[in-house]
Amino acid sequence: MNHKDVTHPQCGQLLWISRTHRHVTSPKARLVWSTPPLLVAVGWVATAGAATWAIFNDDTAGRVLVGLAALVAALLALQGTLARPRLAADSNGLVLRRFASKRQWTWAEVNVRLVRTRRLGREVSTLELDAEDDLVVLGWLDLGVAPEDVADALRELRT
């Protein structure tokens, strides 16, 4: 978003600053969204900490439980590391990176929806990409920003 200064027409005094939407007009414009790098780093640190604890602890049941937690943290951190950018868009369509693959759709092949759901007393927004055989649900952790912002940017890019 850009900001526009609104001034008084006669005296030139600044009255307010309004927010204006940046329109994507360049056919070469490419937008990308990914898991925040800080969260990926936290995942790797949690993996190292849990693995270290599991190796040096004498409690067998605790070792198994924390070892499984370390494995899950490692898989999530690996997903955040390898699937960068998670979602990319340009005038031709969308590209979604997964754990070990990449999927591409043209704008005609995919329907983009913003879905709001009430869970545990709060409203959660997700971005749904509905293609022929795939339904992909992306949240804030996947995109690094609010799904509403991504939906707005995709709507601008698509038109």
Please indicate, yes or no, if residue 20 is contained in any of the structural domains.
no
Please tell me the predicted confidence (pLDDT) of residue 25.
Answer: 46
Residue-wise pLDDT tens digits, 13-37: 655 555 544 444 455 588 999 999 9
Distances (CA, A) of 8 to 15, 16, 67, 134: 6, 9, 65, 52
Please tell me the predicted confidence (pLDDT) of residue 21.
Answer: 47
* Structural domain harbouring 77: 37-81
For residues 124 and 143, is the Cβ–Cβ distance under 8 A? no
Q: Which residue has the tokens 């340009």?
A: 90
Please indicate, yes or no, if residue 135 is contained in any of the structural domains.
no
Please indicate, yes or no, if residue 124 is contained in any of the structural domains.
no
The total number of structural domains that make up the chain:
1
Q: Which of 8-12, 87-91, 135-139, 143-147 has the lowest mean pLDDT?
A: 8-12
Average pLDDT over residues 100-113: 93
Please tell me the predicted confidence (pLDDT) of residue 81.
Answer: 94
Please tell me the predicted confidence (pLDDT) of residue 159.
Answer: 76
Positive or negative, the CA dihedral 133, 139, 142, 143 is: positive
Residue-wise pLDDT tens digits, 47-87: 999 999 999 999 999 999 999 999 999 999 999 999 999 99
Please tell me the predicted confidence (pLDDT) of residue 103.
Answer: 93
From CA 6, how far away is CA 23, in angstroms rounded?
A: 19
Higher pLDDT, 47 or 10: 47
For residues 87 and 104, is the Cβ–Cβ distance under 8 A? no
Please indicate, yes or no, if residue 105 is contained in any of the structural domains.
no
From CA 77, how far away is CA 67, in angstroms rounded?
A: 15
From CA 2, how far away is CA 13, in angstroms rounded?
A: 20
